[in-house]
Amino acid sequence: MSETATTILAQFQTADGDKTGPPLSLPSSVTAEQLSVLINKFLENDETRPYAFYIDGHEVVRSIQRDIIEGAQRSAEESLTIVYQPQAFFKVRAVSRCSATLTGHTEAVLAVSFSPDGKHLASGSGDTTVRIWDLATETPRVTCRGHRNWVLSLAWSPDARRLASGGMDNDVRLWDPLTGKEEGAPLSGHRKWITALAWEPLHLNPTASRLASSSKDGTVRVWDTVRRRCLFTLAGHTAAVTCVKWGGDGRIYTSSQDRSIRIWNSDGTLHAVLPGHAHWVNTLALSTDFALRTGAYDHTGSVPSDNADAQKRATNRYNDTKGKGSERLVSGSDDFTMHLWDPQNSTKPIARMVGHQKVVNHVSFSPDGRLIASASFDNSVKLWDGVTGKFLASLRGHVAAVYQVCWSSDSRMLLSASKDSTLKIWDLRTRKLKLELPGHADEVFAVDWSPAGDCVASGGKDRILKLWKH
């Protein structure tokens, strides 16, 4: 189809609203590649950086004529604002084959997690053990024994030196990933099982010594993992606490079955309550989660020389992800909705995100903070704009409840794990299914994509841990 090119007036603008360069007179047939050349010239980039371009929320994939004037029915007469967003320099390749099937757990695998430096993989199971696997040889390295009941959650310290696990036995335990030995006595105090764990971000505390644990008993405890004592307890929720996140500004966010979200200062005082959900709040995600989780480590795998260097790197990575705005929070609930919050500036949500037909089980921000993915028991994964909360697409393909979603580190692909025993990889550009990864014999409960993007781990009811590679 030949495009009839007209001339349009356009202005480049950053996602934060700053204008770049003068207004331009462009042919409407201009492609995304040509826009990329222009913006790299304007910004005087030393090396050509990839960008994505949006006009009124619609991405320019082929050309402005096709996608915006014909596709989005915009008039060529009016001035168009082209919002440009930098993309990751590196590209993650989609994993396409199961490279290892690791047996060893004797009950369902309930949690899997790669370390921030990508060197270790940990799995927690209903058989009460935590196992740490050697990724180079794809074999078990150590088995960490100590819990007296199911292991429900895992969290690596952002310096990758320690692994915390929370169990059905009400205890939090710390492990040395190299030896598999437990570090000291368990952190005891909760009266019911542990629901989530969160470490203090590395850029705030380079020794990575403080850990928060949330519990079914309605409290969150903050531990000093060096002195092995509880520093303070966050009590205020009137029902089970389902999730805890430690934000990059030092505040702690908790969600609960009492339908509220609470924000706490790092000294244990209550900062604010975010009301609004009509049922249990199940899950929280921060727009900076990926940068906080990986700390000083990026896709290159270079190791910081000391704590000060690590803190500097972590601070830069956090600020790059956060941008000029503030950290955003998204919550998913049993009321089938999600709320997007700007917790530093308001106790009212930016947006109420509706569309799921059943419980929202898991939410996750893309590593660049621009998109949100939600997994629901209605068999679908939905995509939302990470800044406005606007609905973008439904990703359909699973034939049973979706338990978890996970992003590739370049924010270009999304992985979902389901009760239907499959993993699916979705391409964010086309918003279509890219690959299906069958292989598990039963429900897939847990999935994680390594920070460097080279490996995916999944585990579930069939007691097997699978590693997937390109």
Measured CA to CA in angstroms, residue 22 lies from 10, 27, 31, 42, 45 at distances of 9, 16, 19, 10, 17
Taking 70 as the threshold, does the pLDDT of residue 458 lie above it? yes
Average the pLDDT over 273-278 and give the result: 94
Average the pLDDT over 304-310 and give the result: 90
Average the pLDDT over 414-431 and give the result: 95
Q: By the 8 A CB rule, do 189 and 180 touch?
A: no
pLDDT in tens, 67-104: 888 888 888 788 899 999 888 778 888 898 999 999 99
Q: By the 8 A CB rule, do 146 and 134 touch?
A: no
Question: What's phi and psi for 41, nearest 5 deg?
Answer: -65, -45
Taking 90 as the threshold, does the pLDDT of residue 436 lie above it? yes
Measured CA to CA in angstroms, residue 143 lies from 99, 171, 355, 429 at distances of 21, 18, 42, 40
More confident residue, 204 or 305: 204
Q: What whole-number distance in Å separates Cα of residue 136 and Cα of residue 126?
A: 26
Q: What is the pLDDT of residue 214?
A: 97
Q: What whole-number distance in Å separates Cα of residue 279 and Cα of residue 360?
A: 11
**In angstroms, how far apart are the furthest CA atoms of the chain?**
73
pLDDT grade for 4, boundaries at 50, 70 and 90: low
The continuous run of DSSP H or E covering 315 comes out as: helix 307-322
Q: What is the pLDDT of residue 182?
A: 95
Q: What is the pLDDT of residue 347?
A: 93
SS (H, E, C) 399-447: CCCEEEEEECCCCCEEEEEECCCCEEEEECCCCEEEEEECCCCCCEEEE
Taking 80 as the threshold, does the pLDDT of residue 301 lie above it? no
Measured CA to CA in angstroms, residue 78 lies from 24, 31, 32, 81, 82 at distances of 13, 19, 20, 10, 13
Q: By the 8 A CB rule, do 297 and 118 touch?
A: yes
Taking 90 as the threshold, does the pLDDT of residue 227 lie above it? yes
Q: Looking at the chain, how many residues does it have?
A: 470
Lowest-confidence pick of 3-7, 89-93, 172-176, 208-212: 3-7
As beta bridge partners, residue 81 has 11
Q: By the 8 A CB rule, do 259 and 278 touch?
A: yes
- Degrees (nearest 5) of the Cα angle 171, 172, 178? 135
Q: What whole-number distance in Å separates Cα of residue 387 and Cα of residue 76?
A: 27
Taking 50 as the threshold, does the pLDDT of residue 2 lie above it? no
- Side chain identity at residue 325, one-letter code: G
The tokens describing 331, both together, are 């919550």
The continuous run of DSSP H or E covering 468 comes out as: strand 465-469
Average the pLDDT over 10-38 and give the result: 88
Q: What whole-number distance in Å separates Cα of residue 268 and Cα of residue 281?
A: 21
Q: What whole-number distance in Å separates Cα of residue 284 and Cα of residue 142?
A: 31
Cα–Cα nearest to 67, from 58, 75, 76:
58
Q: What whole-number distance in Å separates Cα of residue 62 and Cα of residue 154?
A: 43
pLDDT in tens, 109-164: 999 999 999 899 999 999 999 999 999 889 999 999 999 999 999 999 999 999 99
Measured CA to CA in angstroms, residue 336 lies from 177, 332, 372 at distances of 38, 8, 16
* % of the chain beyond a pLDDT of 90: 74
Taking 70 as the threshold, does the pLDDT of residue 3 lie above it? no
Average the pLDDT over 390-411 and give the result: 95
Question: What's phi and psi for 27, nearest 5 deg?
Answer: -70, 145
As beta bridge partners, residue 199 has 211
Q: What whole-number distance in Å separates Cα of residue 222 and Cα of residue 212?
A: 4
Taking 80 as the threshold, does the pLDDT of residue 1 lie above it? no
Give the number of C-alpha atoms closer than 13 A to the C-alpha of residue 267, restricted to the C-beta side.
Answer: 2
Q: What is the pLDDT of residue 216?
A: 96
pTM: 0.89
Q: What is the pLDDT of residue 79?
A: 87
Q: By the 8 A CB rule, do 202 and 314 touch?
A: yes
Q: By the 8 A CB rule, do 266 and 224 touch?
A: no
pLDDT in tens, 349-400: 999 999 999 999 999 999 999 999 999 999 999 999 999 999 999 999 999 9
Lowest-confidence pick of 100-109, 179-188, 299-308, 318-327: 299-308
- Side chain identity at residue 49, one-letter code: R
- Side chain identity at residue 178, one-letter code: L
Q: Average per-residue pLDDT in the chain?
A: 93
